[in-house]
Amino acid sequence: MKQLLAGVAIAAVLASTTGVMAAEKVLLKTPISFSTSLPGLGTPIPRVAEQLDLMSGGTLQMKVYEPGKLVPPFEILDAVSTGKVNSGYTTAGYWAGKIPAAPLFSAVPFGPEAGEYMAWLYYGNGLTLYQEMYDQAGYDIKVVPCAIIAPETSGWFANEINSVDDLKGLKMRFFGLGGEVMQKLGVATSLLPGGEIFPALEKGAIDATEFSMPAIDKLLGFHKLVKYNYFPGWHQQATVFELLINGTQWDEMSDQHKAIVENACKASMADSLAEGEAVQFDVMTDNVENNGVFIKTWSPEMLATFRSAWEEVATEKANGDEFFAKVLTDMNEFRDGYKLWKENAFLPRK
């Protein structure tokens, strides 16, 4: 009997493997928004590509194109939807000008941390709303969350920021909904791709910037030009990154290939978070000891000011767009429930 069961199990595995091997070969040509040299930000997608190849036995492959090599970062959504390319790796926050609700699926000021964000996406209504957003906006897109990072630094400045008055009149690169908060406080914001930030700082086109976590910011060289690095990253307590696949391409893929993509990206969510968390503290120490950087913490008064401005922005955005209101309401309802768990289960942070 044991031999029979073993034989049946082997046959099932072989049948499954044969099904994958027999599947029509798929090549996902994937322009990306972030250099693959940036840890936790660009490094996840080459690892996903490797896993797709391995898990599919070579029938599902991905060719990754560095930013701007095939499609400019801010054009990836349109390129994937129209079929110019069949996939892309980016973040939904870049589509705020096209879809008002998009930044809610990227990073939310004073919003969920990584664990809570993933809980809402996978076990709340997050993923359903995420796909609905693209469908409703008329994009031929299948969206798959494919990486997430923990809190970012909230900015690099040439001088200390002790009050709102110190912010007024600054020209600053700032991302997503947090950028709208800064505008409320008198900052002139712009959204630049990572590779354009250092030259803009160097030429004086901007006075300050935020981009990502310390290990990523260091590779871009911000510490060479501006020395005051502020925490916490109130505007991005977690940031989600998306794999976009052309909807027609997705429909033509086998169930096995779809499952491989979705599970490789789920694994990447855990892996990118772990990588991002692991490489920050050495960089912060090096910045202080060797690069003349001052690590600063926002005062409770400044954080309260940022939060108040965010609440104004959120209300205005919800009043101006029905789907933004729908997503924000759902996220907040989930967070209200999660709060009971969060406040009781976790040790206080020191």
Cβ contacts of 31 within 8 Å, gap of 6 or more = 65, 67, 69, 70, 71, 73, 76, 79, 85, 88, 89
Closest CA relative to residue 150, chosen from 112, 206, 102, 100: 112
Cβ contacts of 94 within 8 Å, gap of 6 or more = 33, 73, 74, 76, 77, 102, 106, 191
Closest CA relative to residue 31, chosen from 83, 61, 68: 68
pLDDT tens sequence across 67-122: 999 999 999 999 999 999 999 999 999 999 999 999 999 999 999 999 999 999 99
Per-residue CA distances from 47 to 39, 52, 89, 183, 282 (Å): 12, 9, 13, 37, 23
CB 273 within 8 A of CB 194: no
Average pLDDT, the chain: 93
CB 86 within 8 A of CB 29: yes
Q: What is the mean pLDDT of residues 154-176?
A: 95
pLDDT tens sequence across 312-326: 999 999 999 999 999
Residue 16 has pLDDT above 80, yes or no: no
Q: How far apart are CA 44 and CA 254, in angstroms?
A: 24
Cβ contacts of 111 within 8 Å, gap of 6 or more = 117, 237, 238, 331
pLDDT band (50, 70, 90) for residue 23: low
DSSP assignment of 256-278, as one string?
Answer: HHHHHHHHHHHHHHHHHHHHHHH
Q: What is the mean pLDDT of residues 160-169?
A: 96
For residue 46, say if its preceding peptide bond is cis, omega within 30 degrees of 0. no
Half-sphere exposure of 110 (CA within 13 A, CB side): 15
Largest CA distance in the chain: 80
Q: How far apart are CA 298 and CA 151, in angstroms?
A: 14
Neighbours of 274 (CB within 10 A): 12
pLDDT band (50, 70, 90) for residue 22: low
Residues above pLDDT 70, as percent of the chain: 93
Q: Which domains does the chain have, with CATH numbers?
A: 92-350 (3.40.190.170)
pLDDT tens sequence across 38-79: 999 999 999 999 999 999 999 999 999 999 999 999 999 999
pLDDT of residue 350: 72
Q: How far apart are CA 118 and CA 73, in angstroms?
A: 25
The SS3 call for residue 106 is: coil
| Placement of tokens 């054009």 in the chain | 75
